[in-house]
Structure 1
Amino acid sequence: MRGLVRAVLLCVALGGATLIGLAWAMLDRMPSIVDTPAGVSAQAADRTARRIADLDPRKLRDGERRAIVLGTDEVKALVDTVAKRLPGTRAQATLGDGQLLLRSATALPGSFWLNVETSVVIADGLPLPETMQIGALSLPPQLARAVLEKATSVLLRRVGYVGTPDLIAQALHTVEITPHSVRIDYALSRRVAAEGLRTLLPPGEAERLAAYHEALRGTLLALRAQRRGATGGDVSETDRLPAAVQALFALAQSRGGDALAERRSALLALALHTSGRSAASLLPEAESWPKLPPLALTLRGRADLGQHFAASALIAAHAGAHWANAVGLAKEVRDARGGSGFSFTDLMADRAGTRLGERIAAGNDEVAAMLAGKITGEDLLPAIDGLAEFMPEAEFVRRYGGVGSPAYEAVLADIDARIAALELYR
């Protein structure tokens, strides 16, 4: 009997030692990724935002085949953005001929790092994990695939996708990887696209957005009545966006629950209206919601500034300032090349909205309370005097030397100083 007990204890000890050894092999004292990933380029952010907009299920024909081609900078930017949603994590992606190498490093307590390197290859036109190494431990292919499958579900939920990976897999036809790009061929039905967009929304978004939609509708009706003199009042152009902001954030204060989720939903309702998009582009059931009056929400007397401000605030509250700033800059560069021209005024509205979105994402209750109180256009956006706009590309380059030049950076510094002087952004 003593021999049996000793044998059992020895097995337990060996098993424990093995587990400790495996855990130790998976940990490192240094991160495998030392360099900080580059920020999102304006071009990458702009292309990505446009592709997301193309997923409006109302624009799709059932079974329609489409393709997305992501360049190296876009792949790296998306991987970097996903990594920022994971505490203490940095990540990099390297494209090869038929191969994608993903590397991540996550800080752990005790000055340890969990370094993971995964190689994904293309098999029969679809991506397949080939190898995975965690620290010094190399996993066999079958185990690597099982681990990656579980990790993918967790990761998708951390970035806001609450559906199953199967929904994504159903849409994929083929994937091609080259050293310079990733091409994804897919086909979406209206149903799958609608379900996919719904799963990208946080839990409870449909109920929250319906409440803010109704609050915004009431505010717009009141503003329209005042403009027509039905109440004997007079609302100036500069009052419209602040009035909507105040109503939405007052509702967010009163609803309780997850404060950040409520504030993000308030921004979503605001940004959808200022951009001219319907909530039905995200939620098919919103087709039955009462229509919003077509009243522009102006800021500093201009509808375009309200649009820039609200969109940047929403992006920053969800994806961070680097994405919001990049999207705003891309819009101005595109305008300079064939639209209304490059505008530092628009860029200031973008950067002010971005700063607001940052503070909301950080859980700043004081800012939320200010927005729910008496707020004016002057509180949201500094004076726009002296900022050049409507510049075609040639004029923009001649006067300021292009994006990144000393003259351009000097104007950005002036814009940021104006924004920082406002109480809301201190």
Structure 2
Amino acid sequence: MVLKRLGYWLLLPLLLVALLFYSLTIKGSVQPRKISSQDVRESHQLLKSSWQRLVADDQTQVLALDEKHLDALLNVATQSLRPITFHGSLTDFGLVIHGARSLPAPFSGRIFYFSCVLAEQPAGFAIESCKLGKLPLSGRLMMQLMRFSLWAFIQAPEDKLIYELFQSGRVEQQTLSFHKQQAMRIRPELAAVVSGGINLGVGTVQGRGAPLPLEPYFEVLTELAKAHPEQRQLAFYLQQMLREAMRRGGDSFEREASTALWALAISAADRRFLRFSNGTVSAEQVPELPPLLLSGRRDLALHFLYSAVIKMVGNQQLAIQIGALKELSDAGSGGSGFSFVDMAANKAGIWMVQQLGNIDRQQVFTLDVDDFEAAFMPIWHDLPEGLSERQLNQALGGPDGPGAQALLTRIEERLAALSLYRADTKPVAQLTNSDIERLPPPKLTLIADLHLHSRFSDGSRDIDWLAQQGRQFGCDVIALTDHTDLSNKRFNEQAYLDAIRSARQKYAPLRVLSGLEWNIPPLGGREHVSVLLPQLTENAELLKIFRQRFDNERNLSGEDALQAMAWLEQNFPGVLLFYNHPSRKDFSAKENLWDVKLWRQQQQLLVGFEGGPGHQRAGASYNWLYRTVHGWDPAVAVVGGQWDRLLQQGERFWGASSNSDYHTEKLDYRPCQFSRTHLLVSDNSEQSIFQALRHGRFYGSQGNFVRELDFRLQLPDAQMLYSGDEASVAARQAYQVSIDLNLHERDFSGHPAWLDKLELILITPDAIKAVPLYPERSGQRYQVSWQGQLDGDFVVVRVRGAMQTAEGQWHYFYTNPIRLLRSR
């Protein structure tokens, strides 16, 4: 009997919960709304003009709302307050507003639902009645709730004035209008907050509390700006502020970090944020900072800081949706276009505020500025931006379409992987005991230029001339890599291949390879990859298909790079890819790492960087954030840069190629005149050439001062390794690196050639360093040996050297690496 009664008592709460659930929900489905850029602009203008009328001294109409304006406001509300969907209608009898939210399985088919009817009453405009699900709510109760909410959040006397304004509502000719009954005096601090909120897109006001201690952080910012007048990276200032918060915060670091972020946002983004921070300082006390950049862009820094502030005010959903509404507004006519890049910056700012307590303090103190930026800002260079509203709708299904949601999910995944908020994210080398095919020792060296453009794209010369010049300046191999994107109307697949075949016959034994320079998706033509095609696979029809499917930089919904590489591997067996001028248009040092690891995820067609980019006569045309280092891309030239990190993480990836990228005489030297890729091969067959490129058996030079280079690693068992080779050896294995370098008497311009610098780059699991070498010289021959020992799981060695002319110009050469792995 006791158990039976206990069962009844346990069942009763479940029945009450079920009854409440079915009372608050109804059967049905949510009718979606579709927002446009015009909705965003109309809503913003309506709110702004209404507020200006409200605070004006004269007695006037404050707001006139017709069906069109109502529809725009409900679209914006739906976008901002997801997952609730709002609908409404305006008639001569009043206003009906209702909202609904779908329920997940197992309750699909039911929705949370509420509705209210607003109409003129004898005592004035009022809420006549409401329903929450099936439960009726009296209009009198809802009006009392409104009065209490105004009193709680706005306080006297403005709460009474706004309540009276609401009661002044009249409906005439399907237009709802509100009029002031008297001149309304709004407290200056409230007026500042609301007007600032409308302009910033913020409708939330932080509650009263203790003033934030901003002054100490303003002092730090002032000193930083004085000490580093040329520094414009947001990451630098953010890192310094977090360090200061750690020094001041102790166990309350999260609170101090939040205050530091407020101070930085006020100083670097918008002084109006003082209105939200409860700070006691005046705008005159805010330090002057230069316009700060995030990933090289001012707009991204502002997006990051604005969203962080809105999140700190207390509303993450609002912060996200304000960003989305801003982008949608930009997608309209005359705007800058919808940008998922801006959305990534918005979300990064919100994510930092959410994760302040999880920041890895060691990274804050040990990372350099570029790495610190990569630790809190997700990779974004492959995200679309500048989309018109039409493109957004057609290609991605609109702001809520499947394509847009997939991109937002991609951003969320990248945020979750950011290293700043995780202490266990140091990349681990993926090492295997070497079972890679070992090429036989090289027998001869072929001189190559693997990046040339003809009149079939944007080059100034025909293929015959390029072949003739290549042979004249010492090339044994050239590769035609014309642009083949669909916007190139000069390109004809069959004529292109015919011209290459003609040059092969006319200039034999010169090897003329066919290829193309590919606008790799989805980067809109910003990044280029050379595609080298084996002669046996040349096919004009397949080349045409590739162009149509994968080389259309304007196709936002096109197939991605991995799909394209799978297609290439299937249709052009033996094809090879090189990442051209990798840092030329980068905004972040992390981009190249990301690209290489992504593009080598499934296929290993991408084998290396073009470490020595072309256009050397014009300074390599690096005019964005990064510059070449003595003619070489910083991904390769910087010790510890992206190439070294890839090698440290176990990638067999090459960077020692150097090409002319010939277009015109103004931009470029002629094939092999200045830039050369030296191929170490068994013979001059195309098969040997492709094997050398695939396995890293080559080195690159500029200035044409290197005649021949023999770089090898010898083990005690007489085993000999060359560029690109690797071997498994016992722990603490001794090895010897040997370098035998022969120089020309003079460089490409007639300057006497000599060696000024020679370095061995050593890459181990814990360090990357350059070791200077001091060779013995005999005429134009330089020789040196260096002894080493395998102390960890692996060691990677590569070599670079340089000469400096009497005029101060540097010419460098770089080799590909040799790797030793500890046997398992």
Same fold (TM over 0.5): yes
Consecutive unaligned residues in structure 2, runs of 5 or more: 1-15, 104-110, 195-203, 423-824
Residue 346 of structure 1 pairs with residue 342 of structure 2: yes
Letter of the 1:161 counterpart: F
Cα drift, residue 377 of structure 1: 1.6
Structure 1 pair 398–40 and aligned structure 2 pair: CA distance change class (3 A): closer
Partner of residue 270 from structure 2, selected from 276, 280, 301: 276
Which residue is 2:153 aligned to? 161
Partners of 1:322 and 1:193 in 2: CA distance: 28
Percent of aligned pairs sharing the same letter: 18
Structure 1 pair 189–150 and aligned structure 2 pair: CA distance change class (3 A): closer
Partners of 1:311 and 1:28 in 2: CA distance: 39
Structure 1 pair 184–288 and aligned structure 2 pair: CA distance change class (3 A): same
Residue 194 of structure 1 pairs with residue 195 of structure 2: no
Which residue is 1:130 aligned to? 128
Which residue is 2:723 aligned to? none
**Partners of 2:359 and 2:421 within 8 A in 1:** no
Which residue is 1:332 aligned to? 327
Residue 29 of structure 1 pairs with residue 22 of structure 2: yes
Partners of 1:291 and 1:284 in 2: CA distance: 11
Cα drift, residue 386 of structure 1: 3.9
Partners of 2:164 and 2:258 in 1: CA distance: 30
Which residue is 2:806 aligned to? none
Structure 1 segment 150-299 matched on structure 2, within 5 A: 150-153=144-147, 155=149, 161-164=153-156, 165-169=159-163, 174-175=168-169, 184=178, 191-192=186-187, 194-195=189-190, 201-204=205-208, 207-208=211-212, 211-212=213-214, 214-228=215-229, 235=231, 237-243=233-239, 246=242, 269-279=263-273, 287=282, 290-299=285-294
Letter of the 1:324 counterpart: A
Which residue is 1:120 aligned to? 118
**Partners of 1:271 and 1:314 within 8 A in 2:** yes
Cα drift, residue 269 of structure 1: 5.0
Aligned length: 371
Partners of 2:162 and 2:377 in 1: CA distance: 41
Structure 1 pair 136–235 and aligned structure 2 pair: CA distance change class (3 A): closer
Which residue is 2:300 aligned to? 305
Partners of 2:382 and 2:165 in 1: CA distance: 50
Moved more, 172-181 or 318-327: 172-181
Instruction: With the length of structure 2 as denominator, give the TM-score of the two structures.
Output: 0.36
Q: Deviations over 1:341-360 (max 9, x none)?
A: 44443232123224445xx2
Letter of the 2:417 counterpart: A
Q: Deviations over 1:378-407 (max 9, x none)?
A: 222123434454x47399569956745666
Cα drift, residue 321 of structure 1: 4.8
Which residue is 1:72 aligned to? 71
Structure 1 pair 330–406 and aligned structure 2 pair: CA distance change class (3 A): same
Residue 96 of structure 1 pairs with residue 90 of structure 2: yes
Partners of 2:328 and 2:81 in 1: CA distance: 26
Moved more, 66-75 or 218-227: 66-75
Cα drift, residue 166 of structure 1: 1.3
Structure 1 pair 387–315 and aligned structure 2 pair: CA distance change class (3 A): same
Structure 1 pair 318–49 and aligned structure 2 pair: CA distance change class (3 A): farther
**Partners of 2:267 and 2:288 within 8 A in 1:** no
Question: CA RMSD, aligned part only?
Answer: 5.4
Q: Secondary structure at the match of 2:304?
A: helix
Partners of 2:220 and 2:74 in 1: CA distance: 41
Q: Secondary structure at the match of 1:30?
A: helix
Partners of 1:63 and 1:387 in 2: CA distance: 49
Partners of 2:364 and 2:122 in 1: CA distance: 58
Partners of 1:424 and 1:280 in 2: CA distance: 28
Cα drift, residue 297 of structure 1: 3.4
Q: Deviations over 1:302-335 (max 9, x none)?
A: 3221101122233345565544333323333444
Cα drift, residue 217 of structure 1: 2.0
Letter of the 1:218 counterpart: E
Moved more, 324-333 or 127-136: 127-136
Cα drift, residue 226 of structure 1: 2.0
**Partners of 2:125 and 2:169 within 8 A in 1:** yes
Q: Secondary structure at the match of 2:292?
A: coil
Letter of the 1:166 counterpart: K
Structure 1 pair 37–276 and aligned structure 2 pair: CA distance change class (3 A): farther
Partners of 2:337 and 2:154 in 1: CA distance: 40
Q: Secondary structure at the match of 1:191?
A: coil
Q: Deviations over 1:201-235 (max 9, x none)?
A: 33335723xx23x244223212211223xxxxx84
Q: Deviations over 1:74-122 (max 9, x none)?
A: 24764897899xxxxx785633314334568999xxxxx9987543213
Q: Deviations over 1:263-300 (max 9, x none)?
A: 77766555444443434666897646513314333322
Consecutive unaligned residues in structure 1, runs of 5 or more: 1-22, 85-89, 108-112, 229-233
More helix by share: 1
Letter of the 1:226 counterpart: A
Instruction: With the length of structure 1 as denominator, give the TM-score of the two structures.
Output: 0.62
Q: Secondary structure at the match of 2:378?
A: coil
Q: Secondary structure at the match of 1:314?
A: helix
Residue 423 of structure 1 pairs with residue 419 of structure 2: yes
Q: Deviations over 1:151-209 (max 9, x none)?
A: 2255558xx8242531423555843569998655568756346335669633335723x
Structure 1 pair 372–285 and aligned structure 2 pair: CA distance change class (3 A): farther
Partners of 2:246 and 2:41 in 1: CA distance: 32
Structure 1 pair 352–403 and aligned structure 2 pair: CA distance change class (3 A): farther
Which residue is 1:87 aligned to? none
Partners of 2:88 and 2:322 in 1: CA distance: 24
Letter of the 1:298 counterpart: L
Partners of 2:206 and 2:287 in 1: CA distance: 23
Q: Secondary structure at the match of 2:127?
A: strand
Partners of 2:216 and 2:280 in 1: CA distance: 18
Letter of the 1:367 counterpart: N
Partners of 2:270 and 2:130 in 1: CA distance: 46
More strand by share: 2
Which residue is 1:7 aligned to? none
**Partners of 2:80 and 2:321 within 8 A in 1:** no
Structure 1 pair 342–172 and aligned structure 2 pair: CA distance change class (3 A): same
Residue 367 of structure 1 pairs with residue 358 of structure 2: yes
**Partners of 2:271 and 2:283 within 8 A in 1:** no
Letter of the 1:299 counterpart: L
Partners of 2:359 and 2:49 in 1: CA distance: 32
